[in-house]
Amino acid sequence: MAARIVTRNPEQDPSLSSKPQPDRSTELQHLAEAACHRSYAPYSRFHVGAAILLESGDVVTGCNVENASYRLTTCAEQNAIAAAVAKYGPAIRIRAVAVANLAKAPCQPCGACRQTIAEFADRDAVISFPGDDGLTVRRTLSELLPAAFELKEL
């Protein structure tokens, strides 16, 4: 079982930024924060950004796109994954995901996004997001979604 990891915010503790980060979480967090500014959120005003690191080393960002018919809203994580598939094709594999929001509010990926990430990621993919205390929280996909839906052939 993967270890639960909670990191301190590198911006609050610069010594952390020099540590090796195979999931490039600090870079991804900054890109996710930048993506927030491109979001379309006139209804909730909750601007969310996501950055995904692919196994290839490429990074793709996304943001939430709301709709007057609320249920048609697209989450930032799903937007980023759709953009990655559109750019690199259906064989993409996700190594890490970062989520941010302009409100700097606690913000974990929703259930639908966890399932969407699971479609393209191994169980040990790292997902980072703002936690309750303003610090960045890192979890593996298996911690956030221990029982992902899988379609088995009959």
Residues that bind Zn ion (CB under 5 A): 75, 110, 113
Q: Which of 113/125 has CB closer to Zn ion?
A: 113
Joined tokens for residue 119: 């479609």
Q: How far is the CB of 46 from Zn ion (least distance, A)?
A: 12
What would the 3-class secondary structure string for 39-52 be? CECCCCCCCEEEEE
**DSSP single-letter state for residue 141:** H
Q: How far is the CB of 54 from Zn ion (least distance, A)?
A: 19
Q: How far is the CB of 143 from Zn ion (least distance, A)?
A: 17
Q: How far is the CB of 108 from Zn ion (least distance, A)?
A: 9
Q: Which of 80/113 has CB closer to Zn ion?
A: 113
**DSSP single-letter state for residue 40:** B
Element of type H or E holding 83 = helix 76-88
70-73-77 Cα angle (round to 5):
150
What letters, b where the CB count within 10 A reaches 16 and e where it falls short, cover 7-29? beebeeeeeeeeeebebbbbbbb
Query: Which residue is nearest to Zn ion, using beta carbons?
Result: 75
Q: Which of 7/74 has CB closer to Zn ion?
A: 74
Q: Which of 27, 55, 77, 119 is catalytic?
A: 77
- Is 77 considered catalytic here? yes
Q: Which of 107/135 has CB closer to Zn ion?
A: 107
Joined tokens for residue 34: 């930048």
Active-site amino acid positions: 77
